[in-house]
Structure 1
Amino acid sequence: MSLNLSQPKRKNAISLTPLIDVVFILLLFFMLTSSFVPWRIIDTPLSVATDKPKDIAEQENLILTLKSNNNQVWFEGGAIYFADQARFEQLVMDHNNGVFMIKAEVGVTLQTLLHLADQLKLHGAKSVSIANAFAMTAESK
């Protein structure tokens, strides 16, 4: 009797185990290297709702103009530097019930605009408007 030492023929199938291992390693890599940061939102507590809305016609509109990013603002023909805290405090005290409207010319950054709004709010300004600060002018269109 002859001895049959040959192995039975096995089906050639692709094993999924290494593929699953690679997928899990990639998943782990992307989960650990990704940063899930929420959307960065600029919190502007400039338009906080008041208990009793005033008529806009009753309020004094004060226009502050930012002409460049050199940390100064123009008000009634004169420049006020952001570092001059006493001047900002006096301005807000003199016009406590007024609406401070910030206008920015072309080239002024949003950071400078928000820095000015922060200065006004820190010194007690109740109403600060930046709604149309970067409005297009007829010559810039």
Structure 2
Amino acid sequence: MPLNLEQPKRKTGISLTPLIDVVFILLLFFMLTSSFVPWRIVDTPLAVSSAPKADAEPKGVAVLTLESNDGRVLFKNQLFVIDNASQMSDLVEQNQDKTIAIKAKEGVTLQSLMLLADQLKLLGAENISIANAFSSKETK
């Protein structure tokens, strides 16, 4: 009678250890190859040309000039601040029947421009326009 020295085969299961190793290696790869770039300011042609124009304000249009990113607005040589709701509300009420055109000075971001437009809309302005969004510096 022959001697059976083979041990009974155990049921083999799928080991998850290599799978977890591969997942961690992929995670490490994507973490090291991705770049963490901070948000950047969108460069737009919003700046008013440096040479002042001698044109008078068109009839039915109130031109606001956004002076800086901190919310200073110039209208008819009078300085307004976006955060001052009563001042801005008076400005909108005085020009309710006009189109409000917004110009931006050099260095003003698109975010600041949109913040001003949103504030004017919230205060009841119906017609708002970005006056020089598509003007180039060569155009005079």
**TM-score class normalised by the smaller sequence:** 0.5 to 0.7
TM-score by length of 1: 0.54
**Runs of 4+ residues over 2 Å off in structure 1:** 131-139
How many residues align? The count is 102
Correspondence 1:4-23 to 2 at 5 A: none
Identity %: 38
2:95 is matched with: 95
RMSD over aligned Cα, in angstroms? 3.6
Equivalent residue letter for 1:60: G
Partner secondary structure for residue 136 of structure 2: coil
C-alpha distance in structure 2 between counterparts of 1:77 and 1:105, whole Å: 15
Equivalent residue letter for 1:122: L
1:127 is matched with: 127
Equivalent residue letter for 1:84: N
Q: Quick one: higher RCO (CA 8 Å, sep 6+), 1 or 2?
A: 2
What per-residue deviation string (whole Å, max 9, x for no partner) do you get for residues 63-108 of structure 1?
A: 0001221211000011101121111111111111211100012100
The structural deviation recorded for 1:130 is 1.5
The structural deviation recorded for 1:131 is 5.4
1:106 is matched with: 106
Partner secondary structure for residue 70 of structure 1: coil
Given that 1:104 and 1:134 are in contact with CA atoms closer than 8 Å, whether structure 2 keeps it comes out as no
Is residue 61 from structure 1 mapped to residue 61 from structure 2 by the alignment? yes
